[in-house]
Amino acid sequence: MPNSTQSRESDTDIILDVRKLRTSFRITGEWHAAVRDISFTLRRNETLALVGESGCGKSVTALSVLGLVPLQNGRVEAERIQLGEHNLQGLSEEEMREIRGNRISMIFQEPMTALNPVLPIGHQVAETLLYHRKMNKEEANKTALELLDKVKIPSTSSRFKEYPHQFSGGMRQRVMIAMAIACKPDIILADEPTTALDVTTQSQILALLNELKQDSGMSLIFITHNLGVVASIADRVAVMYAGKIVEITDVNSLFAQPTHPYTEALMLSIPRSDRDIKTLHSISGQVPPIGRMPDGCSFAARCGLEQPICRKLDPTLQPIDVGLTHEVACWVRGDYNLTTIEERANG
Amino acid sequence: MADTLLRIENIKKFFHVKRGFPVPETVTVRAVDGVSFEVKRGRAFGVVGESGCGKSTLGRSLLRLIEPDSGSVTFDGQDVLGANPSKIRALRQRMQIIFQDPYSSLNPRKRIGAALAEPLLVQGLAYKRKAHERVLKLLDEVGLHSDAADRFPHEFSGGQRQRIGIARALTVGPELIVADEPVSALDVSIQAQILLLLRELQKSHNLSFVFISHDLGVVRFFCQDMAVMYLGRIVETGPIPRIFEDPLHPYTHILRDASPMPDPNQSKKFIHVDGEVPSAVNPPNGCHFHPRCPYAADICKKVSPDWHQVDTERGVACHLFDTGNTGHDYPKR
Amino acid sequence: MTSNTENIPMPKSNRALFLEQMKRTFRSNKLTGVGAAIFLLVVLAAIFAPLLSTHDHIDQNILNRLEGPSDQFLMGTDAYGRDIYSRLLHGARISLIIGGVAIISAMIIGTAIGIIAGYYGGRTDDVIMQFNDILLSFPTLILGLIVVAMLGPSMQNMIIAISLTSIPGFTRIARAPTIVIRERDFIEACRALGYRDWRIMVYHILPNVLSDVMVMASLWLATAIRTEASLSFIGLGVKPPEATWGGMIREGFENILDNPWLSIFPGLAILLVVFSLNLLGDGLRDAIDPKTRED
């Protein structure tokens, strides 16, 4: 059941608190921000979807939280990245390794590249347990078998010894999920896990993830560009554009009342299989390149509703509803004290 | 009533692959296993299916980019598969293809203008200055600035490259375009741009399409008729709104219901789908779909279902339609 | 329609792009430039050999035989009193011409065969590659020996011999990317547009294969020059009294104790050319590295 409008009193429910995350990369000598001061929270047993098109920074966000951004040319800064009682920012690589695969797990789009082709899959699932839970080999193998069963891989005992190439895409994804849930993490980061799968397989994997989430009480951050997938599994949704969150709310409100012009345009550009659509909305222009982010709102040039202030100041996320759960970053559609803002802009 | 531009009958294409270690054995992949349908002039015909169903192989077989093993392809009354080399060259002006991957569909070392002018030269349609003029006109038609002609593919985004690919297909003035997942590799907003462009071009050039895709929403938007493929065979054909509203074949039904809808009220119930898409190397006996079909009967496991033309527009290959049943038992949406 | 490329600088002419690529190649590795410069000097020396020579390189001078370097004879004289320096310069011509022509012809033939084999695949590919492998498995020197022994020692036959030993390498280098490229959609588009096979191979596959081929060409030129020297050394090269580096080394051996310069200078010359070509070739190879490629 979706955890819809939660009020601020259940703050103890928050398992991940990210504040003002800024991840930059050095491209031909200069630093450019791929994720620009975003903030969000994740509650226990909640599925948060990060939606956006390619280049919006959704994958980078996940990597930043897990400390997987390569440091020669990458830089992660944040006011806070808090996992429960751990502050993830100050941790050493050694300490982060304790967190990864253990408290937070990640599953990826291409299971073939995430799995080691020369090791049997049972071994790979058991490995997590050996490392994090310090089990002995026997225990680990037994638990691994149970996990494979849990993700509904048929004939687990015989398939335990098989190699990744002997599995189909959907099966490999299940193996990856088994590895991810092995240590009963608080959070799973799923980066486009079903994008490369067939529709029917995707449906199975989504159902599986949902079931596992219900059983274990863990939280899920689901990264995707597919709004249909978002509608089927998310409790809350953050829409990202050019490195910023432009709208964040519960899933029902997002689809019932898409407020940010980008969200609205996106919804109107999706063809649907359940109804005849006369025409699709196509958003003119392109996402600004990372090195040439304009002043002001990065969507202004393509918006159609833009006002002078949009070109000068970048809007901040502001709630537009009484429950303070639906936030939008838009001068036009948001709920701001515009006079003071305009004074600030002009002064 | 539009006339038939393309008719394909019982196309088959098998691949023989050596697999296995240490002693390789040859296995037969029945990629396309007896496919027939018609495409009417000026209309878009969707071919829908999941990976391994053979739709890409089918698309290429139509154009003889892959030579089918048997069957017939008739384009505007002309036999395609039996045509000699010079007839084929002439036919190639009338049937073209656009590809899925914008990053491998253009020659990285050729400037766009040269790449677009080349077909004109090769087919003897225009030379030098006239060719250049045609190229600029095409670029304009697909929504690109004229300075694109001097640039290289790597200077363009995925969506723009798709536009170039479309321009290339249009250079020779085709009547039919085989579009192999033309928007699957693009972002949602770019996808909309390209679909709108294709629709516009369809109107202005009176184009017919064989539109291959796995995305039901895209097919519903763009096409007027469609066929559903599973493991090398067509399981159902029909006009578009009807097939979606009232699917006849159980697989069509599952495919439709499994496609996630951007509507939280509809999407929450996950349809129960059994099993996985089997490999085309060893398809199940009888009806290929029977291991996953909620309605499989004994006959389905042994005998491959015949084609039933349910009415003038719709057909299905399913034993449920065998015994004179007027309808079917599974619940409507 | 709007220019979607408004932020990208105007397209450049082919010449401008070429110069840019050259600049990038030489900037990334200083040694590449060194290699290129040295090789260029050698080429210039060979071209202007008659002008730069101090003596006629065939002129014998028995009175001055086996002298060390002096004011008159910059590098000394050989057993027949001939000026080593002048002979060295003319030897450069022989080496570069034989090596150059051999490699260029091998490049043309090998690339063509490689592309054909890669493009058609199947039996054609199998047969071609089997012949290729046979040729490849001959030690370079033995093959050259066989050819020259059969046809006789002359500049022409040397070129044939060395070319033959170089062809199989080019075939392989051209075949590999061909196999990759022929699977790309743009090749299928060419076929869909009715292009004939030769057009596809020449205008679409070859340009994408050329950079790989040319990089290896510069490295194998070094090998060709070494091979020529080796064959000349064992007496199968261009006949005397023409000066060849290999021949000069050989002649020097007979008098190695009296006057080592006879062998040292041509040896150094070969070393210099091969070394500079290797630097150049390595630099080119790094520059052509897929990381820096546009695709």
pLDDT of residue B238: 95
Residue C6 has pLDDT above 60, yes or no: no
What pLDDT, on the 0 to 100 scale, is given for residue B58?
A: 95
Is B258's CB within 8 Å of A229's CB? no
Residue C197: in which H helix or E strand, if any? Answer: helix C197-199
pLDDT more than 90, % of chain A? 54
Residue C172 is part of which domain span?
30-45+84-289
Q: Which residues of chain A are within 8 Å of residue B259 when distances are taken between CB atoms?
A: 199, 228, 273
Q: Residue B189 is nearest to which of A204, A230, A266, comparing CB atoms?
A: A266
Query: Which CATH number does the domain housing residue B283 bear?
Result: 3.40.50.300
Give residue-wise pLDDT tens across range A155-212: 888 889 899 988 888 899 999 999 999 999 999 999 999 998 889 999 999 999 999 9
B158 touches chain C (CB under 8 A): no
Cα A118 from chain centre: 30
Please tell me if residue A292 touches chain C, with a CB cutoff of 8 Å. Answer: yes
For residue A209, what pLDDT is reported? 93
In a domain, B159, yes or no: no
Question: Tell me, what's the pLDDT at A84?
Answer: 86
Q: pLDDT digit of tens for each residue in chain B (333 aa)?
A: 568 999 999 999 999 888 777 788 888 899 999 999 999 999 999 999 998 899 999 999 999 999 999 999 999 999 999 999 999 999 999 999 999 999 999 999 999 999 999 999 998 888 888 999 999 999 999 999 998 999 999 989 899 999 999 999 999 999 999 999 999 999 898 999 999 999 999 999 999 999 999 999 999 999 999 999 999 999 999 999 999 999 999 999 999 988 888 888 876 666 777 777 777 788 888 899 998 888 888 888 888 898 988 888 899 999 887 654 444 554 443
Number of folded domains that form chain A: 1
CA atoms within 13 A on the CB side of A334: 25
pLDDT value at residue C290: 54
Residue A4 clears pLDDT 50, i.e. is over it:
no
Q: Is the pLDDT of residue C166 over 80?
A: yes
Give the chains touching A; criterion: ≥3 Cβ pairs < 8 Å: B, C
**With 70 as the cut, is the pLDDT of residue A286 above it?**
yes
* Residue B118 included in any domain: no
Do strands B44-48 and B208-213 pair parallel, antiparallel, or not at all (unpaired)?
parallel
CA distance B271 to A200: 9
What is the count of structural domains for chain B?
A: 1
**Beta carbons of A272 and B244 less than 8 Å apart:** no
B29-55: b or e for each residue (b if 16 or more CB lie within 10 Å)? bbbbbbbbbbbbebbbbbbbbbbbbbb
B274 part of a folded domain: yes
Question: What is the reported pLDDT for C143?
Answer: 84
pLDDT value at residue A9: 43
pLDDT digits (tens, 9 = 90+) for A47-99: 999 999 988 999 999 999 998 998 888 999 999 999 988 898 888 888 988 88
Q: Name every residue whose Cβ is closer than 8 Å to that of residue A123 and which is 6 or more positions away in sequence.
A: none
Determine the pLDDT at residue A2: 42
In a domain, C50, yes or no: no
Show the domain range for B278: 4-42+52-94+214-321
CA distance A80 to A88: 8
Asked whether residue C112 carries a pLDDT value surpassing 90, the answer given is yes
> What pLDDT band is residue C31 in, cutting at 50, 70 and 90?
confident
Residue A5: pLDDT band with limits 50, 70, 90: very low
Number of A to B CB contacts under 8 A, please give it. 130
List, in sequence order, every residue forming a beta bridge with A18; answer none if it has no partner: A40, A81
Q: CA B265 from chain center: how many Å?
A: 31
Q: pLDDT tens for residues C77-109?
A: 877 888 888 888 888 998 999 999 999 999 999
Percent of chain C exceeding pLDDT 90 equals 38
Do C4 and A289 lie within an 8 Å CB cutoff? no
Q: Any idea which residue has 């005397």 for tokens? A: C240
- The pLDDT, as a whole number, for residue B333 is 33
Quick one: pLDDT at residue B250?
92
pLDDT-based confidence at residue A284 (cuts at 50, 70, 90): confident
Residue A132 lies in a domain: no
Whether residue B184 lies inside any domain: the answer is: no
Looking at the structure of chain C, the number of domains it has is: 1
Residue A338: per-residue pLDDT:
64
Q: Which of A1, A274, A275 to mutate to test the interface with B (most CBs of B within 10 A)?
A: A274
Q: Is B332 on the interface with A (CB under 8 A)?
A: no
Query: Does pLDDT of C3 surpass 50?
Result: no
Q: Do B189 and A265 touch (CB under 8 A)?
A: yes
Q: Is-cis flag, bond preceding B22, omega within 30? A: yes
- Binning pLDDT at 50, 70 and 90, where does residue C215 land? confident
> First vs last Cα of chain C: how many Å apart?
26
CATH number of the domain that residue C214 is part of: 1.10.3720.10
Q: Is residue B276 a contact partner of residue A246, using CB atoms and an 8 Å limit?
A: no
Confirm whether A154 is domain-assigned: no
Q: How far apart are CA A303 and CA A299, in angstroms?
A: 6
Q: d(Cα A107, Cα A182) in Å, to the nearest integer?
A: 12
Give the separation between CA B333 and CA B269, rounded to whole angstroms. Answer: 12
pLDDT (0 to 100) of residue A345: 63
* Rounded Cα distance, C35 and C149, in Å: 35
Mean residue pLDDT across chain A: 88
- Give the ipTM of the model, two decimals please: 0.87
The pTM of the full predicted model, rounded to 2 decimals, is 0.88
Predicted local distance difference test score (pLDDT) of residue A340: 65
With tokens 């071609």, the residue in question is C128
* B5: contact with C, CB 8 A cutoff: no
Helices (H), chain B: 55-62, 85-92, 112-122, 128-141, 158-170, 188-205, 216-222, 240-245, 250-258, 264-267, 298-302
Residue C292 has pLDDT above 50, yes or no: no
CB-CB neighbors (< 8 A) of A232 in chain B:
260-261, 264, 267-268, 270
- Flag whether A254 is in a domain: yes
Is residue C53, in this structure, part of any structural domain at all? no
What is the three-class DSSP state of B168?
helix
CA angle B284, B290, B292 (to 5 degrees): 105
B175 within a domain of the structure (yes/no):
no
Q: Do residue A225 and residue B187 have CB atoms under 8 angstroms apart?
A: yes
Segment A244-255 mean pLDDT: 94
Å between B152 CA and nearest CA of chain C: 8
Closest-CA distance, C105 to chain B, in angstroms, reads 24
User: B324 exposed, middle or buried (CB, 10 Å; 0-12, 13-18, 19+)?
Assistant: exposed
User: pLDDT, tens digit, for every residue of B99-127?
Assistant: 999 999 999 999 999 999 999 999 888 88
Return the higher-pLDDT residue of A222 and C60.
A222
Q: Using one digit for the tens of pLDDT, what is the confidence trace for A108-133?
A: 998 888 889 899 999 999 988 888 88
**Domain range spanning residue A313?**
8-103+183-346
Per the model's pLDDT, the better-predicted residue between C162 and C256 turns out to be C162
Q: How far apart (Å, rounded) are the C-alpha atoms in residues B15 and B37?
A: 22
Put simply, whether C137 touches B (Cβ < 8 Å) is no
Q: Identify the CA nearest to B215 among candidates B193, B192, B248.
A: B192
List the CATH number of the domain containing A266.
3.40.50.300
- How far apart (Å, rounded) are the C-alpha atoms in residues C43 and C28? 24
Tell whether A3 is within 8 A of chain B (Cβ): no
| Binary contact (B108, C191; C-beta < 8 A) | no
State the Cα–Cα distance between residues C106 and B207, nearest whole angstrom. 49
The verdict on residue A171 lying in a domain is no
pLDDT on residue B202: 96
- Give pLDDT, residue C294: 42
Query: Does residue C207 lie within any of the structural domains?
Result: yes
Coil vs helix vs strand at B230 = strand
Greater confidence (A223 vs C19) lies with: A223
Give the mean pLDDT of A231-242: 95
The three-point CA angle C75-C76-C79 to 5° equals 135
CB B100 within 8 A of CB B184: yes
